[in-house]
Structure 1
């Protein structure tokens, strides 16, 4: 018997959307303020996932929970964009992109004109008409091609109310995903809030004979919920129920790992059973324990460490910009390493280049070389290596040619590390279960440990209100460019 252990896709990959295409499964998730966005992964067994492409090279705003649909041989992704300081949007706005296959090529985003709504869920009614459900739960009609709307948003479902003494973040009825099984149309939603207390987020189900309702709540609600804070997976929700290999049923959702909220919401898989009267129920007592894998699944592979000489810029698969402006990728070129054009005045406004990690302990190394610009006056240049949560919360090290710069808690610290002025320095950061230690090395010299260590267990969404994760990052700020060479990522421990 082949077993797997959650998560099936580690690191910050919230709000999974998944579709079955023949004998394959394709999945994406909320990419928020990252570019490229909407990274697409493919699997044949729901356990092992391979990156294929990015569907959204340049997001129009923060990219929230999407839905993937197929209709008449064409694939569509319905996308809510949320206004950010770098976008031109004034309100939450739902767009759509389309492609002849999940591998693309994907179209430019098309504005559906839906404002003030998130979390789209696509369904085809029993009469062949297409609908888009959104948070609330509301719905709006779609044209036959799915590329425009018909009518206005209308409220269609009040949700299921959990007991008042349950400890949750907020009611927050959201994340509708719809499926058909037999004569029933099932509406899978989330309530309880996506962060906050670990017992908040949960999965609920309702059903109807018609996409027009009325909707009957399951007597088994909630289908999934963290009941106790001593469980491994917290805030479980935003689920899709689908048929897997050998026609067994599974549920894909997200959750925070107990003790590692810093890693963001990770993708979880669990079996679904059906009652004799046609209701889905969770099939695993403990999704934190090893589970029997779907039929025919390959052994689960751990994500390895890697070396990156930047000969090929692996945007999407490995690296992504945080809070990008238009044309952000033009800041990059591969030339004896990675040359990153500077932007902003420091780590907070530089749109750093980040990578998602799902490891509890890891070590990073990179050589940092400053290449000042031709600007005059008081312009300066700095670059370095960070652990970056958001523009308000990060830690790490950099150089500006005169001194080493130390950051903690999202701010420059008073600490002055005794390193001689240099334009080139090799940096190392080790994160061992939230304890962060730094080292640096001048060319031809030994490693020197930074004089200050940091504790980063509080670098998470409940601290800052940002739905992000703590990510390794490279940054270049000021005037000029920074060259990064020989980046390494090593997983520590078992």
Structure 2
């Protein structure tokens, strides 16, 4: 009898497992998916034409597009770097290199939707400003970050091998943002982070402090009562410095160094350094601060790089130090549609304090290679930079990590087939703060084209498929195919916030009837601030819809927030765009 019950129980479990898998698959599948047979991104910035690489050179930024707030660590000759991802999924993109020049994409650290789920957050919330540190005392990597979703707050995750994945988030009991962790020679751990001043002691808007906690390495928690303010305000509080943040702690030649961003992400951004004989301070600022900034130079300089700061240091090949940091490359209207990107510079640490080499003059697009390193960017799986073309035919079983979801995992709505990529649409509209059935690729150049071939016939006015250019849920363009009565239309809609608290204003800029007997090609093009949306029904000749438009709403200075422009393959059953004709 027990054996019979056991067999029945096992059969029931197998049946439930089988039907559960099928229900998930059926949930993802729809009767009318949008089929994208290819996607091509081509960058064509003038700066890379004007500054071609010579032997022994490489380009910076090393990560183009919205990859801000870099942090870096090293184990042997393996380098790992993480960046902010906000509400994009998976969270906290991570990269690997052997030489600081050639990087491979390992996906995201927070890749379990059950543990990190930014489903209900604005695009600039989610998770940001990570730190990553290798602890040689227990041969373990630590990634620490602030998550603005699911009540997580500050969390830490661990891994023995970042290439093989990470453990579950461990919630830490402290507030503030921008945490990083440091392990001393004696094995003790310390966490430093940005926080508000003690209650009643805020002196001005933007007044922040850097706080330190001792860390219990055995039990993975901060030690209650050990918190201490180690920097108040910034380098010189009498000058009312703003937004001291993104702290990192280092030890060199017996001394402790605290490096922080100061001035806020924007035109006054900078990197500053402090020194102490103890990890608990007092920390004395360097007399030559800042050690990195672009704030002192003319606004109209050629090939401008701006907002430099939020940095991290690592010892590179041959004992030479390097620093990774965020900066922006504004277009001719001083807008930052590519978002904050990851740059790198060599660092001179021959004196008492580290200084970014050429970090206090206008930044150049090229650097000398570390000795003995060969530039393989864009080859053999290494990420490209400079001008490049990326072609995706969606034929691989494993989709490239550069394609990401927003507020949810891409696997919930995509399916690769022998004919291309199917997007099974959600009812979510791109303007909603919910997971969207949109596969995104970051804009990585000021001048670019992004095109795709779409095979899709909408069944109702609620159906739409096409492409989007998106900075956030209230600042985007939608360019796609829908239906009105018995006719099919190609529509171009602009969605914008009149202010950050107002209702989204939606405007149909143009629409045209279209024959869908054959697949249609859709293309987004940009030349600096000028964007154009065009289509082709014969595969070669493109027609513009809506003419040349300003890309202002795709820039942080207009749209707000912290992200850059995302280019997406989009399908929805929640369309509300009504063709103008």
Superposed pair shares fold, TM > 0.5: yes
1:417 counterpart (472, 494, 511) = 511
Alpha carbons of 1:372 and 1:398: their partners in 2 closer, same or farther (altered >3 Å)? closer
| Cα shift readout 1:103-154 (whole Å, capped 9, x = no counterpart) | 122112221233x321111112455321111113112222223632221543
- Bigger fraction of residues in strand: 1
Paired residue for 1:224?
A: 292
Alpha carbons of 1:458 and 1:328: their partners in 2 closer, same or farther (altered >3 Å)? closer
Hey, what's the Cα distance between the residues in 2 that align with 1:372 and 1:175? 47
Q: Which has the larger radius of gyration?
A: 2
Q: Does 1:65 align with 2:126?
A: no
What SS does structure 1 have at the residue aligned with 2:312? strand
Q: 1:25 Cα shift?
A: 1.3
Paired residue for 1:492?
A: none
1:452 counterpart (524, 547, 550) = 547
Q: 1:274 Cα shift?
A: 2.9
Kept after mapping to 1: 8 A contact 2:447/2:525: yes
Alpha carbons of 1:417 and 1:2: their partners in 2 closer, same or farther (altered >3 Å)? same
1:131 counterpart (179, 187, 190) = 190
Output aligned runs, 1:6-405, within 5 Å.
6-57=60-111, 58=113, 59-61=116-118, 62-71=126-135, 72-83=138-149, 88-89=150-151, 93-114=153-174, 116-125=175-184, 127-135=186-194, 136-145=209-218, 147-152=220-225, 153-161=227-235, 171-195=242-266, 198=267, 200-226=268-294, 227-228=296-297, 229-230=299-300, 232-259=304-331, 261-274=336-349, 276=351, 278-284=352-358, 285-299=361-375, 301=377, 302-303=384-385, 304-312=388-396, 317-324=401-408, 329-335=411-417, 336-349=419-432, 350=436, 352-370=438-456, 380-401=462-483, 402-405=488-491
Hey, what's the Cα distance between the residues in 2 that align with 1:463 and 1:96? 33
- My pick for the range that moved more, 364-373 or 38-47, is 364-373
Kept after mapping to 2: 8 A contact 1:80/1:120: yes
1:408 counterpart (494, 498, 510) = 494
> Relative CO higher for 1 or 2, CA cutoff 8 Å, sep ≥ 6?
2
What SS does structure 1 have at the residue aligned with 2:187? coil
What SS does structure 2 have at the residue aligned with 1:264? coil
Hey, what's the Cα distance between the residues in 2 that align with 1:76 and 1:384? 40
- My pick for the range that moved more, 51-60 or 69-78, is 51-60
Kept after mapping to 2: 8 A contact 1:370/1:381: no
| Cα shift readout 1:271-328 (whole Å, capped 9, x = no counterpart) | 221354x11123224432533222222237454312222223655622111232xx55
Alpha carbons of 1:314 and 1:207: their partners in 2 closer, same or farther (altered >3 Å)? farther
Alpha carbons of 1:366 and 1:93: their partners in 2 closer, same or farther (altered >3 Å)? same
2:525 counterpart (430, 455, 459) = 430
Hey, what's the Cα distance between the residues in 2 that align with 1:422 and 1:148? 59
- Bigger fraction of residues in helix: 2
| Cα shift readout 1:328-370 (whole Å, capped 9, x = no counterpart) | 5221111222111222453223352211232222222222233
Alpha carbons of 1:415 and 1:120: their partners in 2 closer, same or farther (altered >3 Å)? closer
Hey, what's the Cα distance between the residues in 2 that align with 1:244 and 1:159? 31
- My pick for the range that moved more, 71-80 or 141-150, is 141-150
Unaligned runs of 5+ in 1: 481-494
Alpha carbons of 1:382 and 1:134: their partners in 2 closer, same or farther (altered >3 Å)? same
What SS does structure 1 have at the residue aligned with 2:232? coil
Q: 1:460 Cα shift?
A: 1.4
| Cα shift readout 1:26-56 (whole Å, capped 9, x = no counterpart) | 1110011111222221122212222133222
Unaligned runs of 5+ in 2: 1-54, 119-125, 195-208, 378-383, 497-504, 576-581
Hey, what's the Cα distance between the residues in 2 that align with 1:45 and 1:250? 11
Kept after mapping to 1: 8 A contact 2:468/2:568: yes
What SS does structure 2 have at the residue aligned with 1:413? strand
Report how many aligned residue pairs link the two structures. 460
Q: TM-score, normalised by structure 2?
A: 0.73
What SS does structure 2 have at the residue aligned with 1:452? strand
| Cα shift readout 1:157-213 (whole Å, capped 9, x = no counterpart) | 2253469889xxx70111011111111111110110013xx2x11101111111111
Q: 1:249 Cα shift?
A: 1.4
- My pick for the range that moved more, 68-77 or 414-423, is 414-423
Output the aligned Cα RMSD. 2.7
What SS does structure 2 have at the residue aligned with 1:14? coil
Alpha carbons of 1:159 and 1:54: their partners in 2 closer, same or farther (altered >3 Å)? same
